[in-house]
């Protein structure tokens, strides 16, 4: 059950109430940020990542590294970016955010993403930022699309996001526990670009944004849809990458 502040208390100090009072990892108190300084130093790493699948590639020093798998089977996008691995404590924060317990986290998460030089550059270079859409059924149950929240905060300054450019054509069964091949089958023709939006994407470089990237099947399906509909090129950006 979600606890709600009484209305009179929320009106009194809404900004202060939205600030976490404990570190999101070690629970140190008081903590005026999402994580305390020592947890940030302990858990925040910026490994070099494969530009195809965004998996961490320790020890590779080339300019645009690719793992063997991505060299053999290049993905449909130009470059993949991830801010963190989907592991503690980020996984816990993301779960709280997505379950609606801490909706304010979206702004912090997007802010952290923007501070990573490769992500800031990817956002700056994109002509359009598009969130991976949820099906209308899923959107109704959840009430919001986490990926769209990230796009809103990442691209808010330049109004790049167009939420209706890429749509979900049907409600796909959950991807959890499926292999990459099964996920790709599950997602076949799950995305579409409405006729009225074709001109908006024609020849454009698009940055597709999602909260968590697991096998890349969702990004692959959405990228192929955009490219077939006339987009110039696609790059992908996730907040967290499962290892
Ligand atoms: Zn801490
Ligand atoms: Zn790779």
Here the CATH number for the domain that contains residue 201 is 3.40.50
**For 112-167, what is each residue's pLDDT tens digit?**
999 999 999 999 999 999 999 988 888 888 888 999 999 999 976 555 556 678 99
The bound ligand whose nearest atom lies closest to the alpha carbon of 65 is: 2
pLDDT score for 61: 67
CA 178 – ligand 1 centroid, Å: 34
Residue 171 lies in a domain: yes
pLDDT score for 141: 84
Residue 36 lies in a domain: no
CA 94 – ligand 1 centroid, Å: 16
pLDDT score for 12: 42
CA 138 – ligand 2 centroid, Å: 30
CA 26 – ligand 1 centroid, Å: 4
Residue 156 lies in a domain: yes
Q: How far is CA 184 from CA 5, 180, 221, 237, in A?
A: 43, 6, 7, 19
Low-confidence ranges of the chain (pLDDT < 70): 1-20, 60-61, 156-163, 173
pLDDT score for 188: 76
CA 113 – ligand 2 centroid, Å: 20
Counted domains in the chain: 1
Residue 71 lies in a domain: no
The residue assigned the tokens 């991505």 is 70
Full domain range(s) for residue 180: 76-241
Residue 57 lies in a domain: no
pLDDT score for 39: 94
pLDDT score for 160: 58
pLDDT score for 83: 97
For 27-91, give the secondary structure using H, E and C. Answer: CCCCCCCCCCHHHHHHHCCCCCECCCCCCECCCCCCCCCCCHHHHHCCCCCCCEEEEEECCCCHH
CA 204 – ligand 1 centroid, Å: 42
CA 142 – ligand 1 centroid, Å: 29
């Amino acid at each position: 059950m979600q606890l709600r502040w009484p209305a009179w208390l929320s009106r009194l100090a809404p900004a202060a109430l939205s600030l976490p009072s404990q570190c999101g990892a070690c629970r140190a108190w008081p903590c005026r940020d999402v994580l305390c300084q020592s947890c940030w130093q302990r858990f925040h790493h910026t490994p070099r990542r494969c530009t195809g699948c965004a998996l961490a590639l320790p020890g590779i020093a080339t300019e645009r590294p690719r793992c063997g798998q991505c060299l053999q089977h290049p993905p449909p996008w130009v470059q993949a970016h991830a801010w963190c691995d989907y592991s503690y404590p980020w996984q816990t924060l993301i779960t709280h955010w997505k379950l609606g317990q801490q909706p304010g986290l979206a702004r912090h998460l997007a802010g952290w993403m923007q501070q990573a030089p490769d992500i800031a550059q990817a956002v700056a270079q994109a002509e359009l930022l598009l969130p991976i859409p949820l099906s209308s059924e899923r959107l109704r149950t959840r009430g919001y699309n986490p990926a769209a929240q990230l796009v809103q905060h990442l691209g808010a300054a330049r109004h790049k996001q167009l939420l209706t450019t890429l749509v979900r054509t049907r409600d796909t069964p959950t991807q959890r526990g499926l292999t990459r091949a099964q996920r790709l089958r599950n997602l076949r023709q799950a995305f579409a670009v409405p006729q009225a939006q074709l001109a908006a994407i024609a020849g454009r470089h698009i940055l597709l944004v999602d909260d968590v990237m697991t096998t890349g099947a969702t990004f692959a399906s959405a990228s192929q849809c955009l490219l077939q509909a006339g987009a110039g090129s696609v790059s992908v950006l996730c907040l967290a990458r499962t290892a």
